Structure 1
Amino acid sequence: MASDDELACIYAALILADDNVTITDDKLATILKAAKVNVEPYWPGLFAKALDGVNVRDLITNIGNSAGSGGPAAGGAASAPAAEEKKEEKKEEKKVESEESDDDMGFGLFD
């Protein structure tokens, strides 16, 4: 879990990114001071260095798109049928699991 100092710097960085302002340690410190939030003096500089050259807006908006993706598959068109087969296999597995779950208990809903 993030500390209060970290969270304060994160929110300050998000404010700057929302206003399309370059994230620097001075600007982070100014926002924190205006919000009357006291943080350890190294936090704004640390966040400024970590976010240097990073487009925070793109990072936030694309977080769900790239998380866990293995990249594009080779053969483009050939990958579409393979994906459909995997979906069908998953559906079949779910059906089998639901049928077996009734048998495991020794009784069904209408027994």
Structure 2
Amino acid sequence: MSGDLACTYAALILHDDGQEVTADKINAVVSASGMTIEPYWAGLFAKFLESKSVGDLISNVGAGGGAPAAAGAAGAAGGDAGAAAAPAEEEEEEEAEMDFDLFD
């Protein structure tokens, strides 16, 4: 496992436990797992997470992915916004018809 991935998991563990994400705590979690990483990784992650919330980063993983493509498709279609909205409505109907829930 790479150092950046180990620090990512350590930061997630600390966040899940409700603790502040610091370089010392990241190093403690990583060393408790039996891994060794380059010394700069923990400080780099801690510095980044001083200005960003782990919870915000988790909740915004896929945010905003579809909107620019839909806007570009409407512009390419000659500006007919009604034509761009119809496929999205069909897709939502198909999802509603399926009796499948990913989290059940």
TM range (shorter): 0.5 to 0.7
1:23 CA drift (Å): 0.8
Within 5 Å, give how 1:1-111 maps onto structure 2. Answer: 4-67=2-65, 69=67, 82=81, 84-88=82-86
**Runs of 4+ residues over 2 Å off in structure 1:** 65-70
1:69 CA drift (Å): 4.4
Structure 1 length-normalised TM: 0.58
CA contact (8 A) 1:23 1:51 kept: yes
1:33 CA drift (Å): 1.3
- Measured in 2, the distance between the counterparts of 1:63 and 1:86 equals 25
Larger Rg: 1
Q: What is the percentage of aligned positions where both structures have the same residue?
A: 43
Residue type of the alignment partner of 1:13: A
Over 3 Å counting, the alpha-carbon distance change for 1:63 and 1:31 in structure 2 is same
Structure 2 length-normalised TM: 0.62
1:17 CA drift (Å): 1.3
**Unaligned segments of structure 1, at least 5 residues:** 71-80, 92-111
Residues 47-67 of structure 1 show CA distances to partners (whole Å, capped at 9, x for unaligned) of 101111211112112222234
Instruction: Tell me how large the CA RMSD over aligned residues is.
Output: 2.6
Residues 26-53 of structure 1 show CA distances to partners (whole Å, capped at 9, x for unaligned) of 0101111111110111110011011112
**Unaligned segments of structure 2, at least 5 residues:** 69-79, 89-104
